[in-house]
Amino acid sequence: MVLVLLATTGWTAIRDHDAAPGPYAADLIAWKKDSAAGRQLPDPQGKPGAVAGFFRSLTPGQQQRLADRHPLVVGNLGGAPVGLRYRANHEALTQARDVERERMRDQRLTDDGRRIASERMHRFESLLQPGRQILAFDPTGRGRAAEVFGDLGRAQRVSVVVPGVDTDLLTFEKSDRPYSAPAGMARALQDRQRTAAPHTATATIAWADYTAPTGLGVDAASGNLAADGAQRLRDFVRGLHSPHIALFCHSYGSVVCGDAADRLPSRVTDIAVSGSPGMRVDHADDLGTRANIWAVRDEDDWIADVPHMEVGGLGHGADPVSPGFGARRLSAQGALGHTGYYVPGTRSLDNFAGIATGSYETVSCATSDPGCVGSPSGRTL
């Protein structure tokens, strides 16, 4: 029955996702064989605190030489100095751009292959523009990235935007409909925070550093990729030093956040989902977190037609905006459709900024939940 329901809403068109090994894996092998200052290099999967301690023991020159030798590892290494990660990813992007530039002229590729190489080359050129702060980058397969808006090193409040289906390097930013792409969503949220709370030190991260489903197929209807993404999200958040972290999870990103919730650090004070197909639980209390849970859905969002259930591994559980779920339901006034929640001037974006800056008194509830600014989780607002 659930398969029929999912099929009628387009959730079962089977598509493949690229999991082939690539440049990061090669750099990781080289990293494990290398050393610095006569010592073994830290485990990239180790605790961020241990990694941070290792880098503090190095001189600036030693740090830079390590980043030059292993830009993909250092650029993605939780616990490494933020500025060093930015520089390492700039080098990794430069190398990836040059590879794609050569592929554009490679006659052994099909016309489509050269076209994709051109698109990737131009994306990397864009990410290399002065002032961009790339905190994570991996060109393998469809690719992954994370970008910081604001001063992450000084931020007292950090927002992390977790996007959904069809997120990869080519869709990380868009010239048309910019607020439907991770970079545009995060930039809009950071700009709104600065306006709403100019004296609050904030930073916002567009976190597209997981393998998202391609299209509305079986991957999107199951939790397999969400489970992998949740582990990456937990590892990433543990490496952030801000005392206040808020997650803003859109569409399939809310499945990732739901899966990650019970093992996030207590510094995650808020999880806000928009256009959510579900969070893999029946009730907000089942998420296993003391973070405030917020939910918003525009009345024109097609996600409302997706069956909110979980049967045989397909579907993502209860509807987060249903009264019985227990989330605080936000107003989405002004938002249009599934990707309109971060458009400037919408009530949803205003609400996200209020949550991100801890200005809960500015939050506008949905008409169906006029008491959403209360504190059912027990956390002090």
Which residues, 6 or more positions from 380, have their beta carbon under 8 angstroms from its beta carbon? none
| DSSP secondary structure of 60-93 | HHHHHHHHHH-HHHHHT-TTS-HHHHHHHHHHHH
What is the number of domains present in the chain? Answer: 2
Tell me: do 148 and 89 sit in the same domain.
Answer: no
Name the average pLDDT for the chain: 90
Tell me: do 125 and 153 sit in the same domain.
Answer: no
Phi then psi for 117, rounded to 5 degrees?
-60, -40
Give the torsion through C-alpha atoms of 234, 239, 243, 244, to 10 deg: -40
Q: Domain of residue 78: give its range.
A: 23-133
Tell me: do 42 and 180 sit in the same domain.
Answer: no
Tell me: do 121 and 158 sit in the same domain.
Answer: no
Q: Which of the listed ranges 74-83, 217-226, 309-318, 362-371 does the model predict with the highest average pLDDT?
A: 74-83
% of the chain residues with pLDDT over 90: 83
Q: What is the CA radius of gyration of the chain?
A: 21
Query: Contact, 164 vs 103, CB < 8 A?
Result: no
Tell me: do 230 and 92 sit in the same domain.
Answer: no
pLDDT of residue 306: 80
Whether 295 has a pLDDT exceeding 90, the answer reads: yes
Q: Compute the distance between CA of residue 171 and CA of residue 227 in angstroms, rounded to an integer.
A: 22
Query: Contact, 26 vs 74, CB < 8 A?
Result: no
Mean pLDDT of 28-35: 95
Tell me: do 247 and 204 sit in the same domain.
Answer: yes
CATH number at residue 330: 3.40.50.1820
**Listed residues 133, 149, 172: the one ending a domain:** 133
Mean pLDDT of 169-183: 96
Whether 22 has a pLDDT exceeding 90, the answer reads: no
Tell me: do 109 and 154 sit in the same domain.
Answer: no
**The two three-digit tokens of residue 228, written as one number:** 């992998």
Tell me: do 199 and 59 sit in the same domain.
Answer: no
Instruction: Average the pLDDT over each of 118-122, 227-231, 377-381 and give the range with the smallest value.
Output: 377-381
Whether 377 has a pLDDT exceeding 80, the answer reads: no
Mean pLDDT of 174-188: 97
Total length of the chain:
381
CB atoms under 10 Å from CB of 111, counted, come to 7
Give which of 297, 294, 299 is closest to 284, Cα–Cα: 294
Which one has a higher pLDDT value, 180 or 13? 180
% of the chain residues with pLDDT over 70: 90
Instruction: Average the pLDDT over each of 15-19, 146-150, 178-182 and give the range with the smallest value.
Output: 15-19
Tell me: do 236 and 357 sit in the same domain.
Answer: yes
Tell me: do 85 and 233 sit in the same domain.
Answer: no
**Listed residues 86, 112, 133: the one ending a domain:** 133
Q: Compute the distance between CA of residue 10 and CA of residue 221 in angstroms, rounded to an integer.
A: 10
Find the helix or strand (DSSP H, E) in which 31 lies.
Answer: helix 23-33
Tell me: do 172 and 298 sit in the same domain.
Answer: yes
Tell me: do 15 and 49 sit in the same domain.
Answer: no
**Listed residues 109, 133, 157: the one ending a domain:** 133
Whether 15 has a pLDDT exceeding 60, the answer reads: no
CA 101 to chain centre: 28
Q: Compute the distance between CA of residue 43 and CA of residue 51 in angstroms, rounded to an integer.
A: 8
**C-alpha pair distances (Å), 171 with each of 73, 178, 298:** 23, 10, 23
Query: Please, is 81 exposed, middle or buried when counting C-beta atoms within 10 Å of its C-beta (0-12, 13-18, 19+)?
Result: buried
Residue 217 — pLDDT band, cuts 50, 70, 90? confident
